């Protein structure tokens, strides 16, 4: 049976040939080749695009393989209603996002960011001694693939790493795992807080005024999960008060971040434009996930990284 795959990510010629040679029953249709007629014949979708017709028009669609780990940008209700399976590229982000976290931490703890600013002004000397990671208590919200990779790396620095998830289930690689409720008891003793949670209705504004108020004074806060998880007004309030001593932010409620945002003006804030998961190896790694799952799909085996459309991750 021929499976028609809609390519929304612009596969390279080499990747197309690899896909066709490995799976002769796969026919690739480019996004710019999509018509009303062949829309009805698409059975697999690789990636996503804002220019796609309404998902209800894809009456033969069985499976969407995303290019991302998060899926909060997809019409999950419609996908679930139409019985369409969604899988992600979960597992290919751990290395680069771990390195991004370390870069953000070191920019603050080792005064690298201040040194860059001083270099631009040709100024010598740093007034702050800085600190190190050794022995720090770190709380990571989310215990998925990225969080586990990060926890493993932080433990090289003898950090105590606490993982927070919905149920408090034990996850290998953490000093301890807690539920959302149990995590509140540990907040006051944590030096570094890192958000890696997906964007769902449950995590919307999870980091609010009440939660920030429970943190240690001078805590380091890093957000690489979803911007919707953080109440920006509350975040700014607690940065200004000193409750948050340093914030490194890669995701925001509004993207791109408005030039009028007060976050740009705060000295103890590092802003990156949603790039923590980016790498020159990304498309290659994502394609490997696709190839693996196409093999499972054609052999009617369970697909990897399947999303629970009701939970949103």
State the pTM of this model.
0.93
Is residue 192, in this structure, part of any structural domain at all?
Answer: yes
Region 139-154: mean pLDDT is 97
Q: Which of 178, 99, 97 is nearest to 139 (CA)?
A: 178
The CATH number of residue 118's host domain is 3.40.50.720
Is residue 313, in this structure, part of any structural domain at all?
Answer: no
Phi and psi for 33 in degrees, rounded to 5?
-100, 0
Is residue 305, in this structure, part of any structural domain at all?
Answer: no
Is residue 306, in this structure, part of any structural domain at all?
Answer: no
Q: Which two tokens stand for residue 28?
A: 């690739």
Q: Which two tokens stand for residue 226?
A: 């979803």
The string of pLDDT tens digits covering residues 74-116 is: 999 999 999 999 999 999 999 999 999 999 999 999 999 999 9
Q: Which two tokens stand for residue 161?
A: 């790493």
Is residue 43, in this structure, part of any structural domain at all?
Answer: yes
Is residue 122, in this structure, part of any structural domain at all?
Answer: yes
Cα separation, 181 vs 72, in Å, equals 24
Cα separation, 138 vs 183, in Å, equals 12
Strand order in the sheet with 244-249: 176-179, 160-165, 137-141, 192-195, 219-223, 244-249, 269-271
b/e per residue 236-267 (b: at least 16 CB within 10 A): bebbeeebbbbbbbbbbbeeebeeebebeebe
- Given CA atoms 250, 252, 256, 260 in this order, what sign does their dihedral have? negative
* Pair 108, 77 in one domain: no
Domain tally, the chain:
2
The string of pLDDT tens digits covering residues 251-310 is: 999 999 999 999 999 999 999 999 999 999 999 999 999 999 999 999 999 999 999 999
* Pair 75, 122 in one domain: no
Is residue 73, in this structure, part of any structural domain at all?
Answer: yes
* Pair 101, 243 in one domain: yes
Is residue 308, in this structure, part of any structural domain at all?
Answer: no
Confidence of residue 125 (pLDDT cuts 50, 70, 90): confident
* Pair 262, 286 in one domain: no
* Pair 99, 53 in one domain: no
* Pair 29, 143 in one domain: no
pLDDT > 90? residue 54: yes
* Pair 72, 137 in one domain: no
* Pair 71, 213 in one domain: no
* Pair 116, 252 in one domain: yes
Cα separation, 309 vs 72, in Å, equals 10
Contact 161, 190 (CB under 8 A): no
Contact 224, 109 (CB under 8 A): no
Catalytic residues: 226, 255, 274
Domain that holds residue 240: 94-271
Average pLDDT over the chain, rounded to an integer: 97
């Amino acid at each position: 049976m021929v499976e028609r795959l809609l390519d929304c990510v612009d596969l390279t010629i080499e990747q197309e040939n690899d896909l066709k040679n490995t799976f002769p029953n796969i026919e690739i249709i480019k996004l710019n080749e999509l018509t009303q007629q062949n829309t009805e014949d698409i059975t697999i979708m690789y990636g996503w695009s804002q220019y796609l017709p309404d998902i209800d028009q894809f009456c033969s669609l069985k499976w969407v393989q995303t290019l991302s780990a998060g899926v909060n940008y997809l019409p999950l209700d419609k996908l679930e209603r139409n019985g369409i399976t969604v899988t992600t590229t979960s597992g290919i982000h751990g290395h680069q996002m771990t390195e991004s976290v370390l870069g953000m931490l070191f920019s603050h703890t080792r005064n690298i960011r201040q040194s860059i600013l001083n270099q631009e002004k040709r100024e010598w000397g740093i007034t702050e001694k800085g600190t190190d990671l050794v022995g720090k208590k770190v709380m990571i919200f989310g215990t998925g693939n990225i969080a586990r990779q990060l926890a493993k790396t932080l433990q090289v620095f003898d950090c105590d790493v606490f993982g927070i998830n919905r149920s408090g289930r034990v996850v290998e690689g953490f000093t301890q795992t807690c539920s959302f409720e149990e995590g509140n008891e540990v907040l006051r003793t944590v030096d570094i807080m890192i958000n890696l949670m997906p964007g769902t209705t449950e995590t919307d504004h999870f980091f609010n005024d009440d939660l920030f108020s429970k943190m240690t004074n001078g805590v380091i806060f890093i957000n690489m999960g979803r911007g919707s998880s953080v109440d920006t007004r509350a975040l700014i309030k607690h940065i200004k008060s000193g409750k948050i001593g340093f914030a490194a932010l890669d995701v925001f409620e509004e993207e791109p971040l408005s030039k009028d945002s007060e976050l740009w003006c705060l000295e103890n804030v590092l802003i990156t434009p949603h790039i923590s998961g980016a790498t020159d190896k990304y498309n290659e790694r994502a394609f490997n996930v696709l190839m693996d799952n196409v093999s499972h799909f054609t052999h009617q085996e369970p697909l990897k990284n399947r999303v629970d459309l009701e939970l949103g991750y």
